[in-house]
Structure 1
Amino acid sequence: MNPEHSWPIPPAGGWTADDLDTLPNLPPHTELIDGSLIFVSPQTRFHSETVDHVTWELRSQVPESLGVLREFTIDIDRRNRPEPDVIVFRDDVSHGLEQTRLPAESVLLAIEVVSPESIDRDRETKPIKYARAGILHYWRVENKDGRAVVYVYELDPATKAYVATGIFHDRLKVSAPFPIDLDLTAITAKRTRPE
């Protein structure tokens, strides 16, 4: 076995959020879920184009007091540091440019674009963790026959669980966490245009 490709052996009790910044040779976009390292599989073109489009659209519409980042980890707790595909966060001066993660309390919206290997995490595990951390909004984007479908959720403060507020197929228009209007057909438009 080539020592350059040995797997990290977890300590007793699992990894911590701080370990993600110090473990050598981790693949890009490694997440921490329940003290375990999650390595991300290569992404599909749909995933990449969707993340690019949603990030660009949100950045063009976001109020000045908020920021938008793609593929950036958030601190949920000591054993959980997931990396949503896109986040909207309160962009105050305490968030320096050298940061490698954001506290969950500054995140207003977490967005996951579902990949074949992340279905269970994006539909079940991560929404529960985001809700418990108090993240007010969660979107899950899925590929339905080459078209983006967005499932929108809002946190119910009484139950600390997400409640579905809409399913969007061609256009997503919501008023929270700020007024957003996304053309979802633009994600696949490039592939359907004649050459």
Structure 2
Amino acid sequence: MAKETRGRMVDAAVDSLREHGLQGMSFTDVLARSGAARGAIYHHFPGGKNQLATEAATQHGREVRDRLAELGAADPRGVATAFMEFARPVAQAAAQGAGCAVAAVTVPADEENGELCRSAAATFASWTEQLEQNLRQAGLAPTDAEEKAALLVALLEGAQVLCRASGSTEPFERTARAALALFAES
């Protein structure tokens, strides 16, 4: 039961980070969303909010990486197209006000939150590495695969911010078209 409660709390923290960011994530919200008792926070997360946020962002990051690992395609453009299809619902959610739980822990990027930023950096690196692996398996040269994988991750994260700010998916659609054009040259 304890593992179930802890898992529900982490899931609730992911949702809260996506909707409200690190500063707006509250224990009250996490408890309400998870159905956990007030004492559960410090029982399961003695490190407080930063520990909970780190674990939530890490879990979300693993889930995204696992989904990226499933993007199979015969050629690099196919990988990029599959990635855009994966990212489109993320952009749609961003246009409605939800952001990235991993990116949320990087703001503010001060010394107190250094562990959170390091965790986010490692997560983004793992996504880039997974996409690079996908692209290499699809026939792209190692250097091109590394650069284009980084481009796709930056596109996903940047487009979320732009979609959230504009309330529209148009920024994602524009960047997706531009990125796919680069893969046509591969």
Structure 1 and Structure 2 fold alike (TM over 0.5): no
Between 1 and 2, higher relative CO (CA 8 Å, sep ≥ 6) is seen in: 2
Hey, which of these two has a bigger chunk of strand by percent?
1
Hey, which of these two has a bigger chunk of helix by percent?
2
TM (norm. structure 1) is 0.25
TM (norm. structure 2) is 0.26
